[in-house]
Amino acid sequence: MAKNLVIVESPAKAKTIKKYLGKDFEVLASYGHVRDLLPKEGAVDPANDFAMKYRLIEKNEKHVDAIIKAMKKADTLYLATDPDREGEAISWHLYEILNDRGALKDKTIGRVSFHEITKRAINEAITRPQELSIDLINAQLARRALDYLVGFNLSPLLWKKIRRGLSAGRVQSPALRLIVEREEDIEKFIAREYWTIEAEADSKGQSFTAKLTQLQGEKVEQFTINDETKAKDAETVLSTAAKGKLLITKVDKKQRKRNPSAPFTTSTMQQEASRKLGFTARKTMTVAQQLYEGIDIGGETVGLITYMRTDSVNLANEAIEEMRKFIGEKYGVNNLPEEPRLYKTKSKNAQEAHEAIRPTSVYHEPSAIKAHLSKDQQRLYDLIWKRTIACQMIHATLDTVSIDLACGPQHSFRASGSTIRQWFDPGHPGIHRRLYRGS
């Protein structure tokens, strides 16, 4: 008989954690939220300190009953739902239900949280149980009350005026306002015509594009050439002056550094997954959840990434140490900066106790575990792994070049571009790539 009962949100996570904790622990899933507001008027009472009335979510009643039954046989309850306000609220609701049913009498209760599902993180969390955070609970309750108070009164108006099934609330209302304000800005916009003139040049077999910067001795601004007639007149003047050739009058060479991007937050991961993999935000989070909860990588089930709902770019010191060790071993110490790179979240409301999204161990290289992942899992993990490794590597060194080209005595063009002198790609060990970008 298990003396300890651990409650998590998903059955996949429960299965992984059970393997780590052993026979003295029973691990059950709540399957998400277990109760919600009554679906009728008066569920939130603003006149009575915003008192809230709840009911069990019907589809999860059987899971609650299973938890109550298991609790009667256990001595200790560990509430191990996700480490965010929703997870804290789920733990609080479970506590309230179990307490009302008399299942917690003479029992020990602890709140445990972890940001990665690895044996080390789970065992450390179990040895350091905390109390429920009333601040996180209140944050979620306030959010749910706002959803109800705004949506319960506003949604029926949409059903009446537009069509049934639409919802309005805490998110939709300000989002609609942003759209309306943007549309108003678009309507106020006054379109103005302008033309740009470019020259296709070739020097020593390398072609590039140069943009007109001076015409008739005057600097060319955005609206200097504002109709087709002026553009064609300028083209004629320039063609006559050039006689098929442009003369290089000045070459300006500089060198600059470009530091790697910060590790992923939820929003930046979604953006990159959309841009590079074509994933929707929902698909990205679904696949990330699978990587977080645990994958069997050949006899060992392990969470491959840290918790994927975060707005922090902070990294744990032990994670940074492991990354620097790995980079030195795999790519050479010349690809390590002298000091670890530390990133700070700009948002005032960021939860700095959380970490950025990173591999639980950089030694789980994408190529080594590819066979154990689905195609989508492999692609997203590869994206996260490379971004994490890159954030602790040396900067890219860029050679920038600007060339002024004379077109007769009164006209000139300019071309600019950059060559990445040193850019190490963690996906291709031993390769320093060179990239030309012209404008």
Tokens describing residue 140 = 């979620």
Element housing 404 (H / E):
strand 396-406
Strand order in the sheet with 108-111: 25-29, 4-8, 76-79, 108-111
As a whole number of angstroms, the distance between CA 55 and CA 69 comes to 20
SS (H, E, C) 172-205: HHHHHHHHHHHHHHHHHCCCCCCCCCEEEEEECC
Q: What is the dihedral of CA 70, 72, 77, 79, to 10 degrees?
A: 50
Is 307 annotated as catalytic?
Answer: yes
Residues in Cβ contact with 17 at an 8 Å cutoff, skipping those fewer than 6 apart: 6, 8, 27, 80, 117, 122
As a whole number of angstroms, the distance between CA 422 and CA 109 comes to 55
| CA 406 to chain CA centroid, nearest Å | 47
Give the CA radius of gyration of the chain. 30
Q: Which residue in the list 95, 148, 292, 307 is annotated as catalytic?
A: 307
> Residue 430 corresponds to which amino acid?
G
> Using CA of residue 89, residue 95, residue 99, residue 101, what is the dihedral sign?
positive
Instruction: Measure Cα distances from 282 to 288, 296, 405 in Å.
Output: 10, 23, 50
Q: What share of the chain is helix, strand, coil (3-state, %, to 5)?
A: 40, 20, 40
User: For 95, how many CA atoms within 13 A lie in the half-sphere containing its CB?
Assistant: 22
Instruction: Measure Cα distances from 376 to 30, 50, 97, 373 in Å.
Output: 27, 44, 38, 8
As a whole number of angstroms, the distance between CA 80 and CA 66 comes to 16
Which residues are designated catalytic? Answer: 307
